[in-house]
Amino acid sequence: MRRFSLYRRGRIWYAQLYNPKTRRYTSGRSTGESSRNEASLVVAGWLFDGIPKPWSNKRRAVEETFDVDTILTGIRSAALNGTDTERIVSVLKDRELLETAVVKGSQGSEDLVVFLERFWTFDSSPYVREKLAHGHRMGRRHCYDMSMWTRVYWKPFFAGRKLGNLSKADLKSFSLWLAESKNLKPKTINNVLAAGTVALRWAAENELIGSNPAAGLVKFSGTAAKRGVLTEQEVQRLFAQPWAEERAWLGNILAMSTGLRAGEVLAVQIRDIDADRLHVRHSWSNLDGLKAPKTGEERDVPLIGSVREALLALAKKNPQGVGPMTFVFWSSTQADRPMDFHFLLDPLKDALLKLRLNEKDLKEPGKVQRAREYWTARAVVFHSWRHYFAARMADQVEARKAMLATGHRDKVVFDAYADHSTEKIFGEVRAIAAETFGRLLPFGGKRKDTA
């Protein structure tokens, strides 16, 4: 078999090389010569030195050309299905020869945003079903948050994009857009990115797409804003003044004296109250209802006697009835749930304003706004009670013992909460808690009447 064949197109001679692997001649390639003899010399040079690469002085060995020709011949003649095509695309992506490609009719051709919205729908998500089946914790609230990030940020940036038509460069551009155009903080950016990167990793692992474009994507780093902490004098004044809502007043006291999170406060039931301690068995979420605490583990926290009595007294006022599973911070309309979060959080904001303003000042919008800005600048919110508790306990008891009450698994995290500590160490957790927080509480006639 001749090693090449020549034919003329117009005035120029073209050559086809014989590929012994396919037993066929390759596609024609221009020699650039109008003379057959000169064209033959050019092809002989190709066979000896290699074929010139377009726009380059380099040459490619004939054997490499035959390899590519063999692959193309196979693709043209093979009976390929969607899975085969995905595998071919995946190989090209792995070799960094291809960034994005969507196979017609494949799962990767689904709209990206539609896929993400479906992925984070708690009741129908195969990802959620897998996590729960393997004993992992996955709540409706988490899925709701991921859906919100998808709707607010992924949807406007990636509108119309296909699941399989996404590259790492696209994700880098998206992350920079979040930082520069949306001015989001590092932690928030990472949360937003997770709404997509978790789903993309799952899609790649389950062969919905050939490879994961989010693999190796660098997270943003930065120092999270610290919560503000009130002084002891401010705490005393705060709880001694009138509150419009008794449940909020006592809920904030419980958080201050135990370090409970807001959801853990709302989840407290009569059965959780013991003689000298509170069993933290649940947290409350409006979407999930009663669920495990954040770490997934129950814990006991020391309970000051006067706070215990106040909790039981409040529970008995539940208009839905009283029993072991009665919520202490009850809803006035529904027996199977506690009051809403805003009944716990909003009265704290009002009480903080009253620390800065008198009754006359509270009627002046300008002064009220400046007072709000003051507390915003100090970063005092409901979660500040958890920092306050950790800081005060770290003043007087070793971190390991204090962590038993706060429920922190990681000492690094606990230290971040307790960074106001003067690191005095003495006593045990329960005695220290009673001494430290009991003297701040306006029980026994010290508190003014609730408004």
Confidence of residue 387 (pLDDT cuts 50, 70, 90): confident
- pLDDT of 445: 42
Output the six-digit token pair for 13: 């001679």
Task: For the chain, give the number of residues.
Answer: 451
Confidence of residue 421 (pLDDT cuts 50, 70, 90): very low
List of residues 6+ apart from 328 with CB closer than 8 A: 268, 269, 270, 273, 311, 314, 315, 338
Q: How far apart are CA 42 and CA 133, in angstroms?
A: 67
Q: How far apart are CA 25 and CA 325, in angstroms?
A: 83
- Residue that is written with structure tokens 């230290």 in the block: 415
Domain-wise residue ranges, the chain:
4-78, 107-205, 232-438
Residue 426: φ, ψ to 5°:
-165, 155
- pLDDT of 174: 95
Output the six-digit token pair for 257: 């004296």
- Residue that is written with structure tokens 């992350």 in the block: 175
- pLDDT of 94: 75
H-state helical runs in 206-297 = 232-240, 246-258, 262-266
- pLDDT of 447: 47
**Among 241, 248, 224, 191, residue whose Cα is nearest residue 385:** 248
Overall average pLDDT of the 53-75 stretch: 84
Q: What is the mean pLDDT of the chain?
A: 85
Confidence of residue 105 (pLDDT cuts 50, 70, 90): low
- pLDDT of 176: 93
Pairing type for strands 4-9 and 51-52 reads unpaired
Q: With contact defined as beta carbons under 8 Å apart, do 394 and 423 qualify?
A: yes
432 or 184, which is more confident?
A: 184
CATH homologous superfamily of domain 232-438?
Answer: Intergrase catalytic core (1.10.443.10)
Q: Distance of CA 145 to CAs 60, 134, 151, 195, 439, Å?
A: 53, 22, 10, 9, 40
pLDDT tens for each residue of 67-95: 888 888 888 888 887 777 777 777 777 77
pTM: 0.62
pLDDT tens for each residue of 280-320: 999 999 989 999 888 778 888 889 999 999 999 999 999 98
pLDDT at residue 204 above 70?
Answer: yes
Q: How far apart are CA 258 and CA 423, in angstroms?
A: 19
- Residue that is written with structure tokens 């001494």 in the block: 435
pLDDT tens for each residue of 312-370: 999 999 998 899 999 999 999 998 999 999 999 999 999 999 999 999 999 999 999 99
